[in-house]
Structure 1
Amino acid sequence: MRLQEACERFNELAGIKFGELFSPSDMEMIIINKGKTGQLLELALGMHLSSTNLDFEDGELKTNKCDALGNPRETVFITQISSVIDELINQYPFERTHLYEKISNILYVPVCKDGDPRTWMFLPSINIDLNTDKFSELREIWSDDYYSICRQLKEHIETSKDGYIHTSNGTHIQVRSKDAKDSRDNYHPIYSDTYGRYVSNKNHAFYFQKKFVYDIKRINQS
């Protein structure tokens, strides 16, 4: 499925309570599984999706738990950095990075999960395409964030007492240790060929901070 088609379908469902949108048997599954986002999207799109192919032919899917007004409850996971640590340390051009591939064309789908699951709902989704004039402001912000984070990570490696990377923040994007339901997943060390040593004792990943949500809503409405 192409991103724009999914965007249109989600927007047709925006504001409809899940109790009205899904069958009683589907709602039972949602309640039992605590409303796992992948299953909600699968049901809403009428598709069978696995955790490995939730993204679209021409872009990436990003979801977020929010309140009824679309205000974010959480940060938004982007991608892990372990396989691209040297790309970051050596400041590859932003447009050639794995990060850019992940964020250059996004379908952002907010899911309101306030109250009883029967009252949950999708809110209007936003297609963020960095190649359009409308989102040129974001392209500049994210490019600046990328280079700033690269510099911060390099400084941490070279000057911190443990020689490891630490949380690094931009305006919208940050790198921090990756939250995982299985704590063992947090302790996969990151090795840098550039430095010839481990530069972290646990997973780290890129995330969008909550400010990202407020700014894309503002830009989308302008």
Structure 2
Amino acid sequence: MRLQEACDKFNSLAGIKFGELFSPSDMDMIIVNKGKTGQLLELALGMHLSSSNLDFEDGELKTNKCDINGNPKETVFITQISSVIDELIQERPFEETHLFEKISNILYVPVCKDGNPRDWMFLPSINIDLSSSRFSELRDIWRSDYYSICSQLKHHIETSADGYIHTSNGKHIQVRSKDSKPYHPIYSNIYKRDVSNKNHAFYFQKQFVYDIKRMNG
């Protein structure tokens, strides 16, 4: 399924309470495991869940917990960095990176989780396509964030007391730890050693949501 098709289908569902949108068994799953909303959105769109690199043929689905006005309650996970640590250290050109692939065409879906799960709902989605001049400001911000984070990570590796990477922030994007025990160290072929004792990932910070709401307003 292409992202625009999914966007059109989804927006016909926006504003419908989960109790009306999903079956009782789906609602039981939501109540038991509140982290399944992204998968439920895929099911609502008639998609097959997969472990492929992208959720759509030409883009990525990103959901986020918000209030009724679409204000974010959480940051937005983008992708793990362990497999690309050396391209970050080497500052591979932004448009050639795994990160760019994951964020160059996004269907951003805020999920209002105020009150009872049966009253939750998907809010209108925003399709962020970095090839559109409309989002040139975002492309510039994310490119700047990427190079800043690459520089910060390299600085941490070379100067911090433990020789590890640490939380690195841009305006919208950050890298921070994302792992659970047993932890998964990140090994760099460039430095020939572990550069972290646990996995890390890219996230969109909350400011990202406020800015795309403004651009889409």
Q: TM-score interval w.r.t. the shorter chain?
A: over 0.9
CA contact (8 A) 2:164 2:195 kept: yes
**Residues 48-84 of structure 1: per-residue CA shift (max 9 Å, x gap):** 3245577000011111111111011111011111111
From 168, 182, 186, give the equivalent of 1:190. Answer: 186
- 1:49-64, aligned counterparts within 5 Å? 49-50=49-50, 52=52, 55-64=55-64
How far, CA to CA, are the matches of 1:75 and 1:37 in structure 2? 15
1:135 equivalent to 2:132? Answer no
Question: Which residue in 2 is equivalent to 1:42?
Answer: 42
Q: State the Cα RMSD in Å.
A: 1.5
Code of the residue aligned with 1:161 in structure 2: it is A
Question: What corresponds to 1:158 in structure 2?
Answer: 158
8 Å CA contact retained: 1:35, 1:117? no
Gaps of 5+ in 2: none
For residues 102-181 of structure 1, the aligned pairs below 5 Å read: 102-178=102-178, 180=179
Q: Is the 8 A contact 1:66 1:112 kept in 2?
A: yes
Instruction: Give the secondary structure class of the aligned counterpart of 1:71.
Output: coil
Tell me: CA distance 1:215–1:27, structure 2 relative to 1, closer, same or farther (3 Å).
same
In structure 1, distance between residues paired with 2:38 and 2:189: 35
- Is the partner of 2:77 in helix, strand or coil? strand
Deviation string, structure 1 residues 191-213 (Cα, Å, up to 9, x no partner): 11111111100000100000000
Query: Whole-Å Cα distance in 1 between the matches of residues 18 and 45 of structure 2?
Result: 13
Shift of 1:35: 5.6
Q: TM-score, normalised by structure 2?
A: 0.95
Pairing 1:204–2:163 present: no
For 2:208 and 2:202, locate their aligned partners in 1 and report how far apart those are by CA, in whole Å.
13
Runs of 4+ aligned structure 1 residues displaced above 6 Å come to none
Q: Which residue of 1 aligns with 2:94?
A: 94
Show the counterpart of 1:216: 212
- Is the CA contact 1:38–1:54 (under 8 Å) kept in the aligned structure 2? no
SS at match of 2:34: coil
Counterparts of 1:170 and 1:218 in 2: how far apart (Å)? 19
CA contact (8 A) 1:108 1:128 kept: yes
**For residues 158 and 169 of structure 2, what CA distance do their matches in structure 1 show?**
18
Alignment partners' CA distance in 2, 1:211 and 1:217:
10
After TM superposition, the structure 1 stretch with the greater mean CA deviation from structure 2, 208-217 or 51-60, is 51-60
Using the alignment, how far apart are the partners of 2:117 and 2:14 within structure 1?
15
3-state DSSP of counterpart to 1:174? strand
- Per the TM alignment, residue 26 of structure 1 is displaced from its structure 2 partner at its CA by 2.9
* Mapped partners of 1:158, 1:35: distance in 2: 37
Provide Cα deviations, 1:1-51, integer angstroms capped at 9, x if missing partner: 110011111111111111122233432332233361233213311333245
Q: Distance in 1 between matches of 2:131 and 2:28?
A: 41
Q: Percent identity?
A: 83
Q: Retained in 1: the 8 A contact 2:38–2:63? A: no
Deviates more, 1:46-55 or 1:25-34: 46-55
| Uncovered stretches (5+) of structure 1, i.e. residues with no partner | none
